[in-house]
Amino acid sequence: MGCHCSKAVDASGPRATKASSADATASTASRKSVIEHLSKTKPGIKNTRIHRRDITEVYEILGDRVLGTGMNGEVYLARNKATGKTVAVKTLSTENLNSRKFELLRNEVEIYLHLDHPNVCRLLEVYEDPTSVRLVMEACTGKELFERLASKKKYGEKDAAQVTKQMLDAVHYCHNQNICHRDLKLENWVYADSSENAPLRLIDFGFSKVFTQNQPMTAMHGTVYYVAPEVLEGSYDSKCDVWSIGVIVYMLLSGAPPFGGTTDAQIINNVKTGEFSFQGPRWAGISDAAKSFITSLLQRDPSKRPSALEASKHEWITSNLVRTSSENGEDAGDIDRSVLEGLCQFSRQNGIKRAALGMIAFSMSSNELLENLEKEFKALDIDGSGTIKLHGLKQALMKYLGTDGDEAERVFKKLDQSGDDEIHYSEFLAACLLTRLAMNERYIQEVFDKLDVDKTGFISAENLRSVLGDSYCGTSVEELVRQVDYKCNGRIDFDEFVRALTEQREVELEAEAVDPDRGTAQLEILRSISRSFIELAVDEVTSPNDVTVTEGLKCNPTEKGSFGFNLNNE
């Protein structure tokens, strides 16, 4: 389809970079660190990815492998010293920054920590040392969008429409979270890996902003070929991102930008006029539907421009979506029953186990998952918001499993780890991991260390409160400790933690399930039944395959590959 023009110049004018003299002379020592600021926000599993330590203790930075340069720093390939896992690391220098630039940096980190969608590059961890903040992201090893499509032997409108749908999904999700990207361009869309059906990922949130509805943004950020005319005029809303997608699609189908020029000034002037054409041999074979789609997105008046969700329902998109059949002959749009069964099973685990799986899911890259779960997530996201709502999950559970409404609501509440009445992508993955992840010693130790905040070798209710808040999915942190405090000493040691994460029981002894007339006494009697043999199980391990519980009884560990603790870490 031809080569796209790679010239991309920041459209930010003096208004985008000018700082007050007070800002320029602000002392870097007077401001707090990025992590100190984030630690004051609402606690939650998302923030367990934050570390205040030298990243080189955990990762080897491969300095000769520069993956790219974002708005605020370079991106390098790195390798986890313990696991060998390859990641991408973006370094954001915090040295000699005035207050305004520091706020921009902190804004990028905070926004990225919040985002959680199949078509957004996953942020795995954040490290801060005295001179920098490092963003550890999944390494997207596929090519950039245009390069990948141009390298295909056959590339047509169907290919372009399918990737455009993924772009619109990501942008609609961001807008639904009140986040405007403000620098959408071909270079900021990459493939997760080199496989044929690899998902597209949105990267680089250096210019992103949390916006308020009906309150225009004013800073001129972007790249000249892709910037919307209203951005250049200094008053715009999130639909500036939709314009940029229109430019990208035009370039995908023609190989040239809709608004050209030999200088930045010429390009900007052409963008302001908003005039473009579909003339030339490249457009001869392009459908009217494609041209209609592009025209709607490049509507100069943003009030007449569709939202990302509205654009995804355009005829050109819907007519080019492929519906395939799975191996058992079912429509690919159907939801896998085993996934729904796994969600229900997850909801019946103890709270510590669910929280631990949530922490693991947030720090896992997509290629570590045993199968592609993006399709299942999007099938449950029936309103296209980028999250799963109660009505979507309830509809699926009732249709495929015959679950009643009350039980579906209970399952939803246990999956909604953030407590915001929607299930985010990593919360969905956490539930799926229950039946797909062999819980080995490394995972257990990593989660234990994150929860053992004061490094005493034990997890207390106060430790959990500092990480999760006062409660988790409606269960108090004191109750979370009691659920797995098999030794009845008010804290969780490592052996108890192992047991909590690897036991197969689907029993959750929560106070809300206890007869209110008998209260705590009944609860303690119920717990003592388990404690009478569980304490022996964690203390009298004779071998990984032979756990003595009491004379004449044996506790057989799960088979290799299932959700069981492997002491040999095989």
CA atoms of 193 and 366, how far apart (whole Å) = 10
Last residue of a domain, one of 284, 318, 352: 318
Residues 443 and 545 in one domain: yes
pLDDT > 70 fraction of the chain, expressed in percent and rounded: 77
Domain CATH for 168: 1.10.510.10
Residues 157 and 134 in one domain: no
Residues 258 and 361 in one domain: no
Residue 371: predicted pLDDT? 59
Residue 536: predicted pLDDT? 37
Which residue in the block uniquely carries the two structure tokens 């449950």?
380
With b for 16 or more beta-carbon neighbours within 10 A and e for fewer, the 171-208 pattern comes to bbbbbbbebbbbbbbbbbbbbbbeeeebbbbbbbbbbb
Pairing verdict, β 475-476 and 471-472: antiparallel
Residue 507 belongs to some domain of the structure: yes
Residue 98 belongs to some domain of the structure: yes
Residue 323 belongs to some domain of the structure: no
Residues 413 and 493 in one domain: yes
CA dist 338 to 334, 342, 400, 416, 507, Å? 12, 6, 10, 19, 20
The residue segments making up the domain with residue 268 are 153-203+210-318
Q: Range with the lowest mean pLDDT among 355-364, 476-485, 503-512?
A: 503-512
Residue 5: predicted pLDDT? 43
Angle between helices 477-484 and 494-502 (to 10 degrees): 90
Residues 433 and 503 in one domain: yes
Residue 182: predicted pLDDT? 96
Last residue of a domain, one of 111, 138, 165: 138
- Residue positions counted in the chain: 570
Q: Range with the lowest mean pLDDT among 225-239, 323-337, 370-384?
A: 323-337
Residue 245: pLDDT over 60: yes
Residue 474 belongs to some domain of the structure: yes
Residue 26 belongs to some domain of the structure: no
CA atoms of 254 and 344, how far apart (whole Å) = 48
Residues 126 and 253 in one domain: no
Residues 342 and 223 in one domain: no
Give 93-117 pLDDT, tens digit per residue: 888 888 888 888 888 899 999 999 9
Residues 345 and 563 sit within 8 Å (Cβ to Cβ): no
Based on the structure, what is the number of domains in the chain?
3
Residues 95 and 173 in one domain: no
Residue 249: predicted pLDDT? 97
Residue 3 belongs to some domain of the structure: no
Give 32-91 pLDDT, tens digit per residue: 677 776 666 667 888 889 888 899 999 999 977 778 776 667 899 999 998 888 999 999
Residues 404 and 549 in one domain: yes
The residue from 116, 169, 183, 237 that is catalytic is 183
3-state secondary structure 33-73: CHHHHHHCCCCCHHHHHEECCCHHHCEEEEEEEEEEECCCC
Residue 93 belongs to some domain of the structure: yes
Residue 546: pLDDT over 60: no
Radius of gyration of the chain (CA): 26
Residue 6 belongs to some domain of the structure: no
Residues 237 and 285 in one domain: yes
Residues 276 and 360 in one domain: no
Give 138-173 pLDDT, tens digit per residue: 999 888 887 887 777 667 899 999 999 999 999 999
pLDDT tier at 121, thresholds 50, 70, 90: very high
What is the rounded average pLDDT for all residues in the chain? 81
Domain CATH for 108: 3.30.200.20
Residue 161: predicted pLDDT? 96
Residues 4 and 144 sit within 8 Å (Cβ to Cβ): no
- Is 183 one of the annotated active-site residues of the chain? yes
Last residue of a domain, one of 90, 105, 138: 138
Domain CATH for 361: 1.10.238.10
Give 180-210 pLDDT, tens digit per residue: 999 999 999 999 988 888 899 999 998 999 9
Residues 73 and 185 in one domain: no
90 is in an annotated binding site: yes
